[in-house]
Amino acid sequence: MKSLVISLFAEDKPGIVDALAKVVKQHQGNWLSSRFAHMAGQFAGFVEVNIAQDQAEPLLEALNALPGLTVHTADPVTAQQPPMTTAYFSIMGNDKSGIVSEITSILQQFNVNILEFDSSCNSAPNWGSEMFTAQCKVAIPDGLDIDDVQQALESIANDLMVDISFKKTS
């Protein structure tokens, strides 16, 4: 058996996931995990499938034949990950250019890996201005004091005019 990570991109319309699932099933693939999103009329996602070695190439050919779908594949990385702590934080404030850049710059300084990052801009109910919100899941390397990361993020919150809420887990 071979494990594949498939990324896909298309103009959003009903039936994309169904078409993908049918092709995986037709090639006796096992759907292991997935994540999909709709944004600005576009659809994007990732799927990990387990498939017999002799079915991998026919699966890819069938996926590439689906109309309007851009497909890329990669083999999963199986390198052992170093021990780490998982942390979550959220950001909320008036939207302005550079918020994501400033946050990710701090994370990079500490060699913190972003595992998930979901953000959006929505109209504030009472003001009509755009509000930026984000939820982030990060991996803090062992040996790094998570409080240092939190303090660094909080130190830029005033300049960015955002609130940052932090939740530590393991």
pLDDT of residue 135: 95
Of the ranges 2-6, 81-85, 105-109, which one carries the lowest mean pLDDT score? 81-85
The mean pLDDT of 6-31, rounded to a whole number, is 95
Distance of CA 109 to the CA centre of its chain: 20
Half-sphere exposure of 140 (CA within 13 A, CB side): 20
Superfamily of 2-74 according to CATH: ACT domain (3.30.70.260)
Q: What would the two tokens of residue 148 be?
A: 């240092």
Give 159's pLDDT tier (boundaries 50, 70, 90).
confident
Q: 2-74 and 84-168: same fold?
A: yes
pLDDT of residue 80: 64
* Residue ranges covered by each domain of the chain: 2-74, 84-168
Could you tell me the fold of the domain covering 84-168? Alpha-Beta Plaits (3.30.70)
Q: What would the two tokens of residue 42 be?
A: 């576009």
Supply the pTM of this predicted model. Answer: 0.77
Read off the pLDDT of residues 39-73 as tens digits, 9 standing for 90 and up.
999 999 999 999 999 999 999 999 999 999 999 98
Q: Alpha helices, DSSP H only, in the chain?
A: 16-26, 53-64, 99-109, 146-160
Give 124's pLDDT tier (boundaries 50, 70, 90).
confident
